[in-house]
Amino acid sequence: MSQALRQNRIHQLVKQKGYLTIDELVAHFSVTPQTIRRDLNQMADQGLIERHHGGAGLASSVENTAYQTRKIQHLAEKKRIAEQVARHIPDHSSLFINIGTTNETIAQALLDHRGLKVVTNNLHVAAMLSARPDFTVIIAGGEVRSRDGGIVGEATRDFVHQFKLDYGIIGISGIDEDGTLLDFDYQEVRIAQAIMENSRYVYLAADHSKYGRNAMVRLGNLTQCSAFFTDARPAQALTERLHQHQVDLHVC
């Protein structure tokens, strides 16, 4: 195994576990401690990880928050959903992306696209997509919530209203049995509504954990969307309603 590859794997492992001892890495890769030290030192020089005695951990910029753990939940499902959503977004189109871990996974999947124009109030999405020089990334201004990297508030809503884009990609906290979309956060709902108003197509992405979850604030109804991407078939009644309102259902 080459050095580059091993360092990549180490980086992934560190991001996953938060901390690794040299012994663990020696056992994992079957090389000498000295080799691991060289790797870790090189990576620390690049700021990829933080070097400690006996091992290495995350560079302090990426601390493990509640948000980080939420991000790993249902990751496989989210990735499948994200792949599917990305397939339905053509190159060179314009889109909104709002807050939510599912949306961030979608942003990741969109990295292979070309020339996208993206308006977002999600700091993580902006950071991810702005790495692509051919993308236009526009971020809303305001106070950043540490909880999820979201930017919310009146000003953000006005900001969204400046645009009229092809696609709006929104995430939610819960879906009621009758298709009512629910969220925990009042401000976030206002922004999602603004996005729905100003998008030609509205794509909703939600994994099965959102079914029947009780959140407080009403956002709208599933029937207002153009397409619904999920990983588990919804209840029969809801499926029929979607069909009636010509909402495309994509079960991934």
Partner DNA sequence: TTACCGATGTTCTAAATTATTCGTTTTTGT
Partner DNA sequence: ACAAAAACGAATAATTTAGAACATCGGTAA
Q: Which residues contact 7 (CB under 8 A, 6 or more apart)?
A: 39, 42, 43
Tell me the sheet residues that pair with 117: 94, 136
- Contact region for a second copy (CB under 8 A) — 52-60, 164-172, 209-217, 230-238? 52-60
Residue 213: name the closest of 170, 173, 186, 171 by CA: 173
DSSP-assigned letters across all residues of 4-58: HHHHHHHHHHHHHHSEEEHHHHHHHHT--HHHHHHHHHHHHHTTSEEEETTEEEE
Q: Which of DNA, a second copy, none has residue 221 at its interface (CB below 5 to 8 Å by kind)?
A: none
Q: Is position 177 an interface residue for a second copy (rule: CB under 8 A)?
A: no
The CA distances from residue 42 to 3, 45, 50, 165, 247, in Å, are 11, 5, 11, 44, 51
Binding residue (CB under 7 A) for DNA from 16, 47, 53, 236: 53
Residue 169 engages a second copy in binding (rule: CB under 8 A): no
Q: Which of 41, 64, 65, 136 binds DNA (CB under 7 A)?
A: 41
Give the residue, chosen from 128, 152, 222, 227, that forms a contact with a second copy under the rule CB under 8 A.
Answer: 128
Q: Is 22 in the site for DNA (CB under 7 A)?
A: yes
For binding to a second copy (CB under 8 A), which residues are involved? 1-5, 19, 21, 45-47, 52-55, 57, 60-63, 65, 71-72, 75, 108, 111-112, 123-124, 126-128, 130-133, 135-147, 149, 151, 155, 159
